[in-house]
Structure 1
């Protein structure tokens, strides 16, 4: 599939990261369950990383999510909380592949717009930007979604972190 998005190089993204509205249709699908479906997402762009997408809570099927005790800290956004996904089809629980910021910090409140939005690592579900199925950013530490229009060597990879 040819991407209908403009070319972007990850090394042109800023540091500290930028936040912007997404002009695309995002979906997260597990088997036949649509976990998220939105045209109102935000994305964070950081040097060396494909975009990380944040989906408004109203567009996420939260009945399948359960807050867990895991947390991580981002120097820009603050403390992230993680969620487990309980598949409705009786499959095993998927742990800590979804996160959000309940009280994002940041430069002059810059990241406050992602408050309570959800972000999904790619897998075990499929993630889409418009109709393009995305690839995961290498490694399990970063949650970037790589589409065909994203250019440049991205950070991550073997040894970046393991959930």
Structure 2
């Protein structure tokens, strides 16, 4: 096994890197996404965030959510709720658990329409079979595995990280 990547050495502005690792995401007892094709966003002091192509995501489980956010590097993000049994008496919902950049900046054009998830809100996320630990802090979507080494932004023990 290769030495873990040091997230402190990731670039700023972030890099966009293709990956063929097996990504699996489960939410509300359902397989939400599975693919060997993803894009990793690598940003200084952040564990990678994985973006999955639209065909790898069960979009019938996604409903558009209100609001948006702005990233100085990627542009405007739009959010989705993950919903099972939509409209029924047994409806279950994860609010704003998935996001996409419909029209990202030119540097991140490859992300257009691809989906990312907050691992902390999912039943589980796996990378090549290894369970993912969510990046600390409620706002971040990074995936912590044995392949990356911190310190990570969002960790209260490293609040000095910007």
Q: CA deviation at 1:87?
A: 1.9
Aligned match of 2:18 in 21, 45, 58?
A: 21
Does 2:126 correspond to 1:125? Answer: no
Aligned match of 1:153 in 151, 154, 158?
A: 151
The aligned counterpart of 1:55 is 52
For residue 86 of structure 1, give the secondary structure of its aligned residue in structure 2. strand
Paired residues for 1:8-157 under 5 Å: 8-30=5-27, 32-88=29-85, 90-105=90-105, 109-122=106-119, 123-157=121-155
Normalising by structure 2, we get a TM-score of: 0.88
Q: CA RMSD in A?
A: 1.7
Q: Which runs of 5+ in 1 are unaligned?
A: none
Quick one: distance in 1 between partners of 2:85 and 2:126?
A: 21
The size of the alignment, in residue pairs, is 153
Normalising by structure 1, we get a TM-score of: 0.88
Q: CA deviation at 1:31?
A: 5.0
For residue 111 of structure 1, give the secondary structure of its aligned residue in structure 2. helix
Quick one: distance in 2 between partners of 1:88 and 1:132?
A: 29
